[in-house]
Structure 1
Amino acid sequence: MAHPLEDTLLARQITPTAMRLLVLDVLQQHPAAHSLADVEQLLGHVDRITVHRTLKTFTDKGLVHRVEDGSGAAKYALCAPACLPGHHQDLHVHFFCTHCRETSCLPTVAVPVIALPAAYQVHETSLVMKGRCARCAG
């Protein structure tokens, strides 16, 4: 019988291992963007290097994207199914709550296209908004 977590990994050409399945499960169960330390804490006693390598593999294969939210630690969030390795199709705004310090993906809020002078080459675009999330503002 097929396992949805395994199917998700196999669809991205990622070999399912116990750690990869655990990390994917955590990311699916906790939809906010999470740092390496967050994932470790949610998993309990695990090898930090293995978790780091797992997140790197997930990023390289287009399963997750890195979010630099200004908190000092890179965070990781699941990508939309249309994302390809190295070319994310879900270019959206991220929101960092200054109260609870949680970073959320806002997939329905697109990053606007910005026209740059011809000599500039964009390799990555990111937009992080900061304030109070809906839970903390209410």
Structure 2
Amino acid sequence: MNKAEKILKSKGIRPTEMRLAIYKYLKRKFYAVTLKEIEMAFIKKSDDNKTADRTTIYRTLKLFQEKGVVHQIDVGTAIAKYALSDEKDLDMHLHFHCTHCGNTFCLSNKVSRDSLPDKYKVADVNLVLKGVCTKCLKREKRK
């Protein structure tokens, strides 16, 4: 059993071929991806072997989200993005959305649960910083 299978099983997810493929795809990405990007990677094209439909991909993402494998990021563009979750502190971190390239990155900066009000139960956290990423800044300097 490989690492991806172990992670999915530890979350109570049956590791089907498609679930493993989507997990591995997200693992390779260094930025959050949209449902459309995932669909483009997996929906069958006439001359390749990719076999998934939109419903399978969407259900897999929803299952991953429910089980804490991925988290959804709302950057204010009306298009949700998905990234793998940190096993320790699911959604308690910052995100950075680049206004040039449109990529959204999970940052290592964590929000401490101790800083949250005692008499409130937090259901969701969405902390997004917007600006220009280092890659785009380097491109601008070259011009």
- Please say if residues 5 and 24 of structure 1, whose CA atoms lie closer than 8 Å, have aligned partners that are also in contact: yes
Q: Given residue 37 of structure 2, which amino acid in structure 1 is its aligned partner?
A: D
Higher Rg of the two aligned structures: 2
Seen in structure 2, the aligned counterparts of structure 1 residues 137 and 20 have a Cα distance that, compared at 3 Å, is same
Question: Which residue does the alignment assign to 2:99?
Answer: 98
Tell me how far 1:8 sits from its aligned partner.
1.4
Matches for 1:3-14 after TM superposition, within 5 Å: 3-14=2-13
Question: Which residue does the alignment assign to 1:136?
Answer: 136
- How many angstroms apart in 2 are the aligned matches of 1:56 and 1:32? 19
Question: Which residue does the alignment assign to 2:47?
Answer: none
Matches for 1:1-138 after TM superposition, within 5 Å: 2-45=1-44, 46-83=52-89, 88=90, 90-107=91-108, 109-111=109-111, 113=115, 122-138=122-138
Moved over 6 A (4+): none
- Please say if residues 64 and 77 of structure 1, whose CA atoms lie closer than 8 Å, have aligned partners that are also in contact: yes
Uncovered stretches (5+) of structure 2, i.e. residues with no partner: 45-51, 139-143
- How many angstroms apart in 2 are the aligned matches of 1:111 and 1:63? 19
- Please say if residues 73 and 81 of structure 2, whose CA atoms lie closer than 8 Å, have aligned partners that are also in contact: yes
The normalised TM-score by structure 1 is: 0.83
Q: Residue by residue, what CA displacement relative to the aligned partner does 1:46-94 show, whole Å, maximum 9, x if unpaired?
A: 30110000000000001111111112111111111225xxxx3x51110
- How many angstroms apart in 2 are the aligned matches of 1:68 and 1:5? 26
- How many angstroms apart in 2 are the aligned matches of 1:111 and 1:81? 15
Q: Given residue 104 of structure 1, which amino acid in structure 2 is its aligned partner?
A: F
The normalised TM-score by structure 2 is: 0.81
Uncovered stretches (5+) of structure 1, i.e. residues with no partner: none
Tell me how far 1:44 sits from its aligned partner.
4.3
- Please say if residues 19 and 60 of structure 2, whose CA atoms lie closer than 8 Å, have aligned partners that are also in contact: yes
Aligned partner of residue 22 in structure 1, secondary structure: helix
Structure having the larger proportion of residues in helix: 2
- Please say if residues 43 and 54 of structure 2, whose CA atoms lie closer than 8 Å, have aligned partners that are also in contact: no
- How many angstroms apart in 1 are the aligned matches of 2:106 and 2:88? 16
